[in-house]
Amino acid sequence: MGKPTGFLEYARCEDTTIPAEERILNFNEFHKCLDPEKRRQQGARCMNCGVPMCQSAIKLKGMVTGCPLHNLIPEWNDEIYHDHIPHALSRLLKTSNFPEFTGRVCPALCEKACICGMNSDPVTIHNNELYLIEKAYEQGLMKPRIPKIRSGKKVAVIGSGPSGLAVADQLNHRGHSVTVFEREDRIGGLLMYGIPNMKLQKEVIERRKKLMEDEGVVFKTGVNVGAAASAGGISAKELLKNYDAVAFCCGAKKARPLGVKGFDKVKGVHYAVDFLKSTTKSLLDSGLKDGTFISARDKKVVIVGGGDTGNDCLATCIRHGCKSAIQIEMMPEPPKLRRADNPWPEWPKVLKTDYGQQEAIFKFGGDPRIYETTVKELITKNDKLTGIKTVKVKFKDGKLTEVPGSEEVVKCDLLLIAAGFVGCEEYSVKELGIKLTERGVVETQTSDYKTNVEKVFTAGDMHRGQSLVVWAIAEGRECAREIDEYLMGYSNM
């Protein structure tokens, strides 16, 4: 521990943020790293606790706090303080495959468990991680690590989201030959087409892809496993025949439908994932000049869902130039401060005003979120959306009930459904007869990644349901270890 009194001497200082009025003019990332000296001070705030809860990933009252990857946080914080970037990087990469992703989009479960945060502000673990990996790229430390010996075993990974990339990265470094199949035109899964560019610029994904290719991983895009050949498909049975193991990491992209009859036939109603993908693809293909994206320009937008995806939709709509935008959420508004029954180190169930809401407050003068509300009816003209009828709701005895007389008509010509997901798309596993659970995810034994089909494994959202990038990477690592054990009879991963 380089600075025993660091947490007493230095206050928490986060990366600077470009003001809302500037950042909404483009789709670029809007955080700027602190200078190296200030970052060293933030590293010095780490207390090197006897029991570092930040790397624990323990479940309290049904919610996890602490890093699912069990990152060696006190160790690399100390090395950051001493400005030993190569040493810090070696500790970080021991447990984390893609710090450049988690350092940008992870909600920092580690910080919620930081012991420094029990009585003061937690250590800037999230920002420290991003600083470290970007400094490593800058200094040329992220060089290809090519296996000296190949095992002769071939593995197919279906899906190139964070879990699929983690499976591929781990198994390739172990010496197996890995091919990743992706149905989209670019790799990354929801990293590419689900998370907006301003949260994760796509050059970051391309940079990692290049590194993995240099290390021996083969990527095949535009290949839809389990779909008809006319849709760019390839038979899953063919892969099973040609590879020694197959890992399904296709995500849980089956969107939760809106509970309104006939919503899918109304013009102006879209799922959030389709909306976000259309913007990112057009942005990458033509800088939004091709006009192929779902535009919110001059539209009155209503977003169903108050989570991260809804917030991303909100920020995207503002950048399009929407006329107005609100988010409706069925749940009650969280408290602004921790309640007595929600103490540290539990996940703090408090109100979070994210970047999209901050931008809406700047743009439209008020918080866009409306709580305890849902859509009851769509108002249309010639099958085109013109408005919605909302109703207030309450949870009573565990059931959602409407509040009588609370209906309200809201003008709306673009409705975005960001209400979560209900499992994976069945076609990808149907051909092989892989079993799914009632939740629509692949069935395995507890803490196991092997499916009911011989030499077929699964990981990520397809296995655990829609979750965080950090959990997907953690699942990918564990799945890779299980595949390695299956192929070799043992594993040293």
- Give yes or no for residue 483 having a pLDDT over 70: yes
**Confidence check: pLDDT of 396 > 80:** yes
> What would the mean pLDDT of 171-200 be, rounded to a whole number?
97
**Torsion angle of C-alpha atoms 233, 431, 255, 380, degrees rounded to 10:** 70
Read off φ and ψ for residue 286, nearest 5 degrees: -145, 5
pLDDT digits (tens, 9 = 90+) for 250-260: 999 999 999 89
On the question of pLDDT at 386 being above 70, the answer is yes
Please give the single-letter amino acid code of residue 110. Answer: C
Handedness of CA 369, 349, 347, 47 (dihedral sign): positive
Average pLDDT over residues 341-359: 95
Kindly report, residue by residue over 2-27, the tens digit of the pLDDT: 688 999 999 999 999 999 999 999 99
Name all domains of the chain by residue range, CATH numbers in brackets: 6-138 (1.10.1060.10), 154-253+422-488 (3.50.50.60), 263-417 (3.50.50.60)
pLDDT above 70 covers a percentage of the chain that reads 99
Mean of pLDDT values over 84-109: 97
The whole-number average pLDDT for the span 229-240 is 86
* Rg from Cα positions in the chain: 23
For the chain, percent of residues with pLDDT exceeding 90: 93
Cα–Cα distance, 300 to 350 (Å, whole number): 29
The amino acid occupying position 70 is: H
- pLDDT beyond 80 at 230: no
Per-residue pLDDT tens digits for 31-80? 999 999 999 999 999 987 889 999 999 999 989 999 999 999 999 999 99
Within 10 Å of residue 335's Cβ, how many Cβ atoms? Answer: 12
Q: What is the mean pLDDT of the chain?
A: 96
SS3 381: strand
Tokens of 458: 């699964």
- Full 3-state SS string of 68-102: CCCCCHHHHHHHHHCCCHHHHHHHHHCCCCCHHHH
pLDDT of res. 228: 79
Q: Tell me the pLDDT tens digit for each residue of 111-160.
A: 999 999 998 999 999 999 999 999 999 999 999 999 999 999 999 999 99
Average pLDDT of the segment spanning 213-242: 91
pLDDT at 458: 98
CA–CA separation, 445 vs 120, rounded Å?
41
Is residue 1's pLDDT more than 70? no
3-state secondary structure 260-292: CCCHHHCECEEEHHHHHHHHHHHHHHHCCCCCC
